[in-house]
Amino acid sequence: PVFWTGRHRSGAWGSAAAGAVTTDLFVESLDAASERVHDGDRLVPLRRRRETIALRWGDPVTLEVSETPRGPLLAPLLDREREPLALAWTGAAPGDGVAAFLRVAHASSAAQLRTALATHHEPVLAVLFADADGAGGLQLAGSVPRRAQGTSLVPVPARGDGFLWQGFL
Does residue 134 surpass a pLDDT of 70? yes
What band does 2 get if pLDDT is binned at 50, 70 and 90? low
Angle CA(114)–CA(22)–CA(55) in degrees, nearest 5? 105
- Measure the CA–CA gap between 141 and 18, rounded to whole angstroms: 9
Kindly state the average pLDDT of the residues 3-27: 91
Higher pLDDT, 154 or 81: 154
Residue 32 Ramachandran class (φ > 0 left, ψ -120 to 50 alpha, else beta) = alpha
Q: Half-sphere exposure of residue 2, counting CA atoms within 13 Å on the CB side?
A: 16
